[in-house]
Amino acid sequence: MKLAPHLHRIGNDIVAAYLIVADDGITVIDAGLPGHAKDLERELADLGRTPADIRGLVLTHGDSDHIGFAESLRREHGVPVYVHAADAHRARTGEKPKVATGPMRLGPTIGFFWYALRKRAVPTRYVTEVTEVHDGDVLDLPGAPAIIGMPGHSPGSIAVHSPLADAVFVGDALTTRHVLTGRPGPQPAPFTDDPAAASASLDRLAGLRASWVLPGHGAPWRGSPADVAAAVRAAA
Ligand SMILES: [Zn+2]
């Protein structure tokens, strides 16, 4: 689905991933669930492109609902996979600390897990080879994605800012739809390792200029990163 000339989205408000579409190729942000590989194929076909046009895949963090088709893209098409050094182990193994889930409602929770099963979330395909990135890096990929450290949801959570796409991709640094309660609107994401650190990291978003703030779960946010950061704090 096209959000803007250089910005496309696959998936839905339950789980989403994004494409930065440039003349020199495509950068994919997050890999959703394994079944989203088909959605990616369809989106590329609509664009008149192929997987050979994908120059890199940047993961906002290493959780299983963001690495879905990463390993197949890497193996079958040689696409390098970038993840923050502090989440590289998680992307390779799935190991993470146990955290309290917080509030949930039965319908949205079942909806999330049902969607995950339909998109072949089990078993998780971990990423066997990653390129580690760090806060402040600007990657030599279409859209010149800049890495902004956003520790909290996980130690290696990042936001990815692309001036070409006029967007900042935030993964689970915040959400605009709580997957376990169905509550819409900007708010802290569930399954967060360190909520206090995640809240502090919102300051890093506030200084960015972009027209889109794009979470891994929930509707695209059209508006300034500073406003969304303030809205997440107000909802906490
Ligand atoms: Zn997630």
Give the tens place of pLDDT for each residue, 181-212.
Answer: 999 999 999 999 999 999 999 999 999 999 99
Alpha carbon of 137 to ligand 1 centroid (Å): 23
Burial class (CB within 10 angstroms; exposed 0-12, middle 13-18, buried 19+) of 106: exposed
Geometric angle at alpha carbon 157, from 152 and 160, rounded to 5°: 130
Q: In this structure, what are the phi and psi dihedrals at residue 78, rounded to the nearest 5 degrees? A: 65, 25
DSSP single-letter state for residue 10? E
DSSP single-letter state for residue 29? E
CATH number of residue 216's parent domain:
3.60.15.10
Specify the amino acid at residue 218: G
Structural domain total, the chain: 1
Rounded Cα gap, residues 209 and 101, in angstroms = 32
Between helix 70-77 and helix 36-47 the angle, nearest 10°, is 60
Q: Which domain holds residue 14?
A: 2-235
Rounded Cα gap, residues 57 and 143, in angstroms = 12
Q: Of 4-18, 95-109, 136-150, which gets the smallest average pLDDT?
A: 95-109
Residue with tokens 């120059």: 55
Alpha carbon of 180 to ligand 1 centroid (Å): 11
pLDDT, residue 167, reads 98
Alpha carbon of 155 to ligand 1 centroid (Å): 14
Alpha carbon of 57 to ligand 1 centroid (Å): 16
Q: What is the mean pLDDT of residues 126-132?
A: 96
Alpha carbon of 62 to ligand 1 centroid (Å): 9
| Pairing between β-strand 184-187 and β-strand 54-58 as defined by DSSP bridges | unpaired
* pLDDT reading at 100 higher than 80: no
Give the tens place of pLDDT for each residue, 145-176.
Answer: 999 999 999 999 999 999 999 999 999 999 99
* pLDDT reading at 126 higher than 80: yes
Alpha carbon of 215 to ligand 1 centroid (Å): 9
Q: What is the mean pLDDT of residues 42-71?
A: 97
